[in-house]
Amino acid sequence: MDMTAKPAGADCRAVSEILSRVGDKWTIQVVVALRSGSQRFNGIKRRVGGISQQMLTRTLKTLERDGMVERTVRHTTPPQVDYMLTPLGHSLSETARHLADWAAAHQGVIAGNRLQYDARQL
């Protein structure tokens, strides 16, 4: 197949779906927190900072469902659960880096645009 052709619009829906999966408030931050290796629940919670336990649970569960992270339970006392990125999760984190670069490069301009726009609305 020739992938150099323009995505017609079928791809567009796929991108959109992936984006709304990944574009929530926490997913990327959790993935980034896991880049350096296996982490435990409260370890991730500390790393991300500001995330509630509820949202971390949901986010990890969805990432596990999508095959981005792998969950390993150790039945010790106290119980211990490790989360680590799968190869798929790593490849996502690589792609996220490009977006990170773009965001870092343009966030200042965007913030300025918003100020200008809001000022004009008065």
Backbone angles phi, psi at 52, to 5 degrees: -80, 160
- The yes or no reply on residue 37 touching DNA (CB under 7 A) is no
Of 73, 109, 119, 122, which one interacts with a second copy (CB under 8 A)? 109
Of 2, 37, 54, 65, which one interacts with a second copy (CB under 8 A)? 65
- CA separation, residue 9 to residues 3, 12, 14 (Å): 14, 5, 9
One-letter identity of residue 117: Y
Q: With contact defined as beta carbons under 8 Å apart, do 88 and 68 qualify? A: yes
- The yes or no reply on residue 66 touching DNA (CB under 7 A) is no
- The yes or no reply on residue 121 touching DNA (CB under 7 A) is no
Residue with Cβ nearer a second copy (2 or 78): 2
Please choose which of a second copy, DNA, none residue 31 contacts, taking the beta carbon within 5 to 8 angstroms, the exact cut-off set by kind: none
Q: With contact defined as beta carbons under 8 Å apart, do 12 and 80 qualify? A: no
- The yes or no reply on residue 114 touching DNA (CB under 7 A) is no
